[in-house]
């Protein structure tokens, strides 16, 4: 089974999308086939590979919104695999490496989907029908990713929005694992606790609704936490800033933490979005940055394997 990993943090500005794009690109450069799914209506991940103009002319009708809207019209989702795009600039650089990077883009109007889904949750008479509706909605992505066309991917990464909306919960429910990008500061500790509690409640609620729905064909979910990945870390003389090191030490006492980290480089990562090429695929980048991304990607795959995943 292909591992499905949500990249999630309810706090914005933590480098979530930058991490998603570059880990995917690094793994593809190692010869793997990777799928990115942009669940964030801000479209930051989509715009990491396509310009706004390209999105408007080429992708506007081939986004997650198209998939969700099909449920509203027919009660059956569109074929999710038909919404896959293959970013040309990034994949041109992958041509001689044997890998591939695909994307299911997002849409600005995806933010309205939460309201429509919330209304659907309330449709039904009695506990059993409401439970069945809950499970059906929360399992939409799970079911869609069971198509044979997704089995060829070595990894599916979902870039989740920084909130606890229904689309976010649908992505979380479809995940086999999740990682949490975070800044190395005190406030992250509070946010990480909230996220861990939210994920725990989602798993508990989902599995209770599965039981109440009396659907033996639907199993319980148990996404595994792979750990916190620290982003935007800064060094002086090859040592982490003291305040960041102190925060990391504190967080390690409570949460699983990746050994590898992504260093701060706003100029480099900021320009990458305009070029449509992740930093991991650029020919000339600082060796420390390149090493960071390779180490994070490799550690991610090792943690998935060690957890019993693909």
Task: State the CATH number of the domain containing residue 296.
Answer: 3.40.50.300
* Contact status, residue 255 vs residue 196, Cβ threshold 8 Å: yes
Q: Which residues contact 258 (CB under 8 A, 6 or more apart)?
A: 179, 226, 227, 228, 229, 230, 296, 299, 300, 303
What is the sign, positive or negative, of the torsion defined by CA atoms of 38, 43, 47, 51?
positive
Which pLDDT score, from 0 to 100, does residue 168 have? Answer: 93
- Three-state SS annotation for the chain: CCEEEEECCCCCCCCHHHHHHHHHHHHHHCCCEEEEEECCCCCCCHHHCCCHHHHHHHHCCCCHHHHHHHHHHHCCCCCHHHHCECCHHHHHHHCCCCCEEEEECCCCCHHHHHHHHHHHHCCCCHHHHHHHHHHHHHCHHHHHCCCHHHCCCCEEEEECCCCCCHHHHHHHHCCCEEEEEEECCHHHHHHHHHHHHHHHHHHHHHHHHHHHHCCCCCCCCCCEEEEEEEECECEECCEECHHHHHHHHHHHCCCCECCCCCECCHHHHHHHHHHCCCHHHCCCCCHHHHHHHHHHHHHHHHHHHHCCCC
Contact 235, 263 (CB under 8 A): yes
pLDDT digits (tens, 9 = 90+) for 156-210: 999 999 988 999 999 999 999 999 999 998 888 788 999 999 999 999 999 999 9
| Helices 16-29 & 266-275 angle (0-180, nearest 10) | 70
The CA dihedral of 296, 144, 121, 64, to the nearest 10 degrees, is 70
Does the pLDDT value for residue 272 go beyond 60? no
Pick the closest to residue 269 from 210, 165, 181, 178 (CA basis): 181
pLDDT above 90: residue 291: yes
Q: How far apart are CA 143 and CA 221, in angstroms?
A: 13
Into how many domains does the chain fold? 1
Q: How confident is the model at residue 276 (pLDDT cuts 50, 70, 90)?
A: confident
Handedness of CA 44, 8, 281, 94 (dihedral sign): negative
Phi, psi of 264 (to 5 degrees): -75, 130
Binning pLDDT at 50, 70 and 90, where does residue 120 land? confident
Domain assignment of residue 173, given as a range: 3-308
- Both tokens of 215, joined, read 């659907």
Render pLDDT for 215-227 as a digit per residue (tens, 0 to 9). 766 888 999 999 9
Tell me: the pLDDT tens digits for 30-54? 999 999 999 999 999 999 999 999 9
Q: What is the average pLDDT across 99-121?
A: 92
């Amino acid at each position: 089974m292909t591992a499905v990993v949500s990249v999630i943090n309810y706090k914005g500005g933590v480098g979530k999308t930058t991490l998603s794009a570059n880990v995917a690109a690094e793994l593809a450069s190692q010869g793997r086939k990777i799928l990115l799914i942009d669940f964030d209506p801000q479209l930051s991940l989509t715009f990491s590979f396509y310009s706004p103009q390209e999105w408007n002319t080429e992708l506007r009708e081939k986004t997650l919104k198209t998939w969700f809207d099909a449920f509203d019209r027919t009660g059956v989702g569109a074929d999710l695999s038909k919404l896959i795009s293959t970013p040309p600039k990034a994949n041109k650089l992958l041509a001689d490496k044997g890998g591939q990077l695909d994307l299911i883009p997002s849409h600005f109007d995806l933010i309205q989907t939460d309201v429509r889904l919330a209304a659907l949750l309330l449709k039904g008479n009695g506990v059993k029908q409401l439970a069945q509706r809950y499970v059906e909605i929360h399992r939409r992505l799970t079911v869609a990713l069971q198509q044979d066309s997704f089995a060829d991917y070595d990894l599916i990464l979902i870039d989740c929005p920084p909130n606890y909306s229904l689309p976010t919960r649908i992505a979380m429910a479809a995940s086999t694992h999740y990682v949490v990008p975070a800044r190395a500061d005190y406030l992250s500790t509070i946010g990480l606790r909230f996220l861990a509690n939210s994920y725990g409640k989602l798993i508990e609620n989902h599995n209770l609704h599965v039981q109440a729905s009396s659907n033996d064909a639907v199993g319980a979910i148990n996404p595994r936490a792979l750990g916190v990945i620290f982003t935007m870390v800064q060094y002086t003389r090859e040592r982490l800033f003291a305040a960041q090191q102190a925060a990391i030490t504190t967080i390690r006492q409570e949460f699983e933490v990746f050994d590898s980290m992504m260093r701060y480089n706003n100029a480099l990562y900021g320009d990458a979005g305009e070029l449509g090429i992740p930093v991991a695929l650029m020919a000339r980048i600082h060796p420390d940055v390149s090493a960071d991304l390779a180490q994070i990607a490799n550690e991610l795959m090792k943690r998935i394997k060690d957890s019993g995943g693909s």
